[in-house]
Amino acid sequence: MLRGFTTVTFFAGDMAAAREWYTAVFGAEPYFVREAGGELAYLEWRAGDHQHELGVLSSRFAPHQPAGRPAGAVIYWAVDDVEAAYRRLLSLGATPHDEPTERGPGYVTASVTDPFGNILGVMFNQHYLDVLAGA
């Protein structure tokens, strides 16, 4: 039975730059760091109300990633203010992927492409807040 997401993994060619960028995004250093062959191979952060995990794996372990194009599924992180979160990600060096858009009552999404070619989404989701509040 599926019990929920554990870790979302993105890829990056420049792991030092990915560490710096995502540390700025989350406001914290990764809690889990692994090297392989003397090089940074994997980083992982915990963030949010339920301590969801975002991992960044060196692209050398992902030969299937298309070069120069956004890769992977869009994972949306819950935020209180989509416009502010979107602007902050752009100010950190991300590029627009999908501008803030109301998708229905209580649902607003936006996404950016991080400096490493991954799509990062943010969403205001009333259902998320209702579940969190035990409604």
Taking residue 96's Cβ as centre, other Cβ atoms within 10 Å add up to: 12
Q: Is residue 2 part of a domain?
A: no
Question: Running DSSP on this structure, what letter comes out for residue 27?
Answer: T
Residue 63, domain extent? 7-132
- What's 85's domain CATH number? 3.10.180.10
Residue 124 pLDDT > 70, yes or no?
Answer: yes
Burial of 134 per CB tally in 10 Å (0-12, 13-18, 19+): exposed
Could you give the CA distance from residue 83 to residue 6 in angstroms, rounded to a whole number? 27
Average pLDDT over residues 29-52: 92
Q: Is residue 40 part of a domain?
A: yes
pLDDT at 65: 58
Q: Is residue 114 part of a domain?
A: yes
pTM of the model: 0.77
Q: What band does 19 get if pLDDT is binned at 50, 70 and 90? A: very high
Name the domain count of the chain: 1
77 near 109, Cβ under 8 Å?
no
- Each residue's pLDDT tens digit, 69-118: 666 667 888 899 999 999 999 999 999 999 999 988 888 999 999 999 88
